[in-house]
Structure 1
Amino acid sequence: MTLSAAGFQLLTQFLECIFWGIYIVTLGFCLRALLRWKTNPAEISKTMLVVTLLMACVATFDMVLTFLINLNAFVFYDGPGGPKAAFDNTSGWMDIMGSVDVILQTILGDIMLIYRCWLVYGRSWIAISVPVVLAIAGLVCVALSIFMEITLPSASQFDTPYKQVVVSTWAITICINVITTGLILFRIWRVDRINAELLQDQKGSYNAAKRIIIESGLLYTTVATTTAAVYIAGSNAFAPLTGIDVQMIGIAFNLILIRVYRNRAAELRRSSDRPDCGGTRERGRQAASSLRFVTPDRSRTLENEIVSDGDLEANYGESDVGEGEGSGREHDSSNVSTSVSLQEKKPSLSL
């Protein structure tokens, strides 16, 4: 059985409601993670909190728009052609706002991924030069697609050149995701290799960080690639996949924060039980966030060899490795600094 355009719109509403429910659950855990460990409001990562709330608004607004579009087509529209004619008119304000909503969520996801990559490489603009150029090109494609959707009355979403612009936008987004994720993973692998050389008994220190980045990246990349492929094929299944994509961007973003702070909480508990930490909260915080290697060469200091991810300020669990926001510098998130220093004779871990 092949669904009509109206049937796919109803399927869009159903699937988006399911994924929105999943998103709301992850949002609750994410806000709990962002706010739970902060005794001082100044310690809250305002960037991550603002982006989290903004993504929540966009995801919710998209679901409401989908409901209003269906309500208008099936209940209020009384023109010729029925619901199909209502759905074919893609130049209405609700359809345009729906496109803007999808675009805004995608842009937020791309910007945060580039931002994380920028922090991981010690705020190096050279490292993110390619993703930034792609992001600028993506914004141009976004502006063109919105302009064409407004100025072409009842334009089909699968017509050329509108289709070419939309496909280019999706291709750029996928490229940004793949490139930045690869750069972050390369940085983690490089730091992990240095750790293995300095501390012979601690290999795979950043396995948890790798899993977080890979899994969250795969979630979004898989959905985005599938959505782009279905759109290129000219199928009406593009509509429900777009709704899922909006929610999946927020879900992937929340899962990174949830898993990082969960690992941090586990390390804080372990740190507070250690005799040298005195069981105090402040000492536990430091133990969960600072890593110091000591070797014979006092002149060398590896300032930017710790992987950090903006919100990845937490300890990644089992290896006593802490990650602060900013690769050896002090940053906004939790005011935690992390550094790798080479100072004394014997490799050791200072907490």
Structure 2
Amino acid sequence: MANIGIDEAAFFGIVSLALFYGIFFTLFCLAVYVLLNPMGGRRMNIPFLVSTVLFFCLITLYFIVRWMRAYIAFITFSRETAGGAIAFLSEVSEWHVATSTSLWAVTGALADLMLIYRLWLVWDRSYYVVILPLIMCLGSLVTVFAVVYEVSHAELTTTYATAITNWATSFLSLGLAQNTLVTGLIVLKIWKVNVGVRGQTSSVSSLWPVMAVLLESGSLYSSSVMITLITYVTQNNGSAVMTDVVVPIIGITFMLIIVRVGLGFSKTRSNAMASNQNYPSRSGAPGIMSSRRAPPNQGSTTGLESGVDSDYPLHDIRVTLEREVIHEFGSDKEPSVLKSKEGDADSI
């Protein structure tokens, strides 16, 4: 793989950071709108609103610190130092590096915790399913802050020193494995619910749109981390570009789920629920199907016009189908990413 100069990597990294930050900022505004204006009478989801604001603060601080470092490298040092930008960018122990790495760690930890929170909600608030992801999240924090320690306390001139490489590789590998595991478990649970509901009746909408959103968002983050890991292990300076890109992508994946589910799947759910037929019953309640003896026809003495044998009187049969989808950004009940259930009540 062709390598690029450290100054070129810093330049392309800061340009890419600006581009992805713009995308993140747009999605952040949309996510705040969705969270502050819940649809269908659902209540506001405070945990996701708070985490959204925290994401904005952390990623914005990261953006400012990286641009400060780029300004010093390409403007100040280029004028005052013989080595120019390369001399400044080679100082790995410079405080901007430790600060930006710490912000990356906190942002990644927040994203991991919110993903684990989604997992906990989807699996009916089971604590057993989140034990392993929480351990992996803690391991990621330990490894990344070990990187920060090595960077800030050692006189290094390269990011590929052995003291950093081992910890950084462990951090990226744990983050990739955890994201894959948690996303897979969430999709697995939704798939099981979808199969169970669709197997009982065909009158409910599919949950594939939700699974598609989760898979796409998880794939976006996983692919960026994988590319970062590959470029770092091969000691390619392109890892500096990917490092700047990954942080806003963390926020983008989080906002995408809120925006796409809030503005897209909610409409799909509303249309699907509106398309279900409501059959009249003796009580007049919607969603209740009643099979009863047809009123007598003046021109009929056999009663066969109703489709049944009139010699055998029929009792009322009532079938109630209930399907509920609760989105992660709030409902009348406790907030949840997704709950889908079908209850059949037959009384004869």
**TM-score where L is the length of structure 2:** 0.78
Alignment of 1:164-183 (within 5 A): 164-183=166-185
1:322 to 321, 325, 337: 325
| Deviation at residue 2 of structure 1 after TM alignment | 5.7
Q: Check the 8 A contact 1:6/1:83 in 2, yes or no.
A: yes
Question: Paired residue for 1:63?
Answer: 63
Are residues 270 and 137 of structure 1, via their aligned partners in 2, closer, same or farther at CA, if it must alter by over 3 Å? Answer: closer
Aligned to 1:154: 156
Offset at 1:103? 1.4
Per-residue CA shift, 1:145-192, capped at 9, x if unaligned? Answer: 111111112352111121010000000000110000111111011111
Equivalent-residue separation in structure 1 for 2:15 and 2:246 (angstroms): 14
What residue in structure 1 maps to residue 247 of structure 2?
A: 246
Query: Secondary structure of the residue that 1:343 maps to in structure 2?
Result: strand
- State the identity %: 22
Of the candidates 121, 145, 148, which is equivalent to residue 147 of structure 2?
145
> For the Cα contact (< 8 Å) 1:114–1:132, is it kept in 2?
yes
Partner of 1:17: 18
Q: Which residue identity is paired with 1:224?
A: V
Amino acid at match of 1:216: S
Distance 1:322 1:229 in 2: 40
Say whether 1:344 aligns with 2:346: yes
After superposition, give the CA deviation of every residue in 1:194-253 in whole Å (9 maximum; x if it has no partner): 112221x25772111110111111010011101111111101111111111111111111
1:275, 1:133 → 2: CA distance? 48
Distance in 2 separating the partners of 1:63 and 1:146: 18
Stretches of structure 2 lacking an aligned partner (at least 5 in a row): 279-285, 289-321
Q: 1:236 aligned to 2:237?
A: yes
Distance 1:341 1:132, change over 3 A: same
Give the greater-gyration-radius structure (CA): 2
Aligned-pair distance for 1:339? 4.9
- Opposite residue 238 of structure 1, the aligned amino acid is S
Whether the aligned pair in 2 keeps the contact of 1:90 and 1:156 (CA below 8 Å) is yes
User: Do 1:329 and 1:339's aligned partners in 2 also have CA atoms closer than 8 Å?
Assistant: no
Give the SS at the match of 2:65: helix
Q: Where does residue 98 of structure 1 map in the other structure?
A: 100
Q: Is the 8 A contact 1:34 1:49 kept in 2?
A: yes
- CA gap of 1:12–1:337, structure 2 versus 1, over 3 A, is closer
CA contact (8 A) 1:195 1:202 kept: no
Return the alpha-carbon distance in structure 1 between the equivalents of residues 181 and 70 of structure 2: 37
Match of 1:108 in 2: 110
1:287-339 C-alpha deviation (Å, 9 max, x unpaired): 9xxx99xxxxxxxxxxxxx9xxxxxxxxxxxxx7623559x9931469x9865
1:33–1:325 CA distance, 2 compared to 1 (3 A): closer
Structure 1 distance, partners of 2:19, 2:172, is 24
CA distance in 1, matches of 2:17, 2:225: 15
Change beyond 3 A, Cα 1:247–1:226: same
- CA-CA distance at 1:48 after TM superposition: 0.6
SS at match of 1:166: helix
- Cα offset for 1:35? 1.4
Deviation at 1:345, TM superposition (A): 5.1
Number of the residue aligned with 1:125: 127
The answer to whether the 8 A contact 1:120-1:184 is kept is yes
Q: Secondary structure at the match of 2:129?
A: coil
Q: Note the residue ranges of structure 1 that are not aligned, 5 or more in a row.
A: 277-286, 293-305, 307-319, 347-351
Aligned to 2:260: 259
Secondary structure at the aligned position of 2:182 is classed as: helix
Is residue 145–residue 162 contact of structure 1 (8 Å, CA) maintained in 2?
yes
State the alpha-carbon separation in 2 of the partners of residues 245 and 337 from structure 1.
31
2:214–2:257 CA contact under 8 A, matched in 1? yes
Give the 3 Å change call, closer, same or farther, for CA 337–128 of structure 1 in structure 2: closer
Residue identity opposite 1:234 in structure 2 = Q
Q: Specify the code of the residue in structure 2 equivalent to 1:17.
A: A
TM-score normalised over the length of structure 1: 0.77
RMSD: 3.2
Q: 2:198 aligns with which of 196, 199, 210?
A: 196
C-alpha deviations, 1:24-43, integer Å up to 9, x for none?
11112111111123799x92
* Deviation at residue 45 of structure 1 after TM alignment: 1.0
The number of aligned residues is: 303
Question: 80, 83, 86: which one pairs with 1:84?
Answer: 86
Which piece of structure 1 moves more, 244-253 or 56-65?
56-65
Letter in 1 for 2:177: C
Distance change in 2, residues 1:325/1:38 (3 Å): closer
CA contact (8 A) 2:43 2:332 kept: no
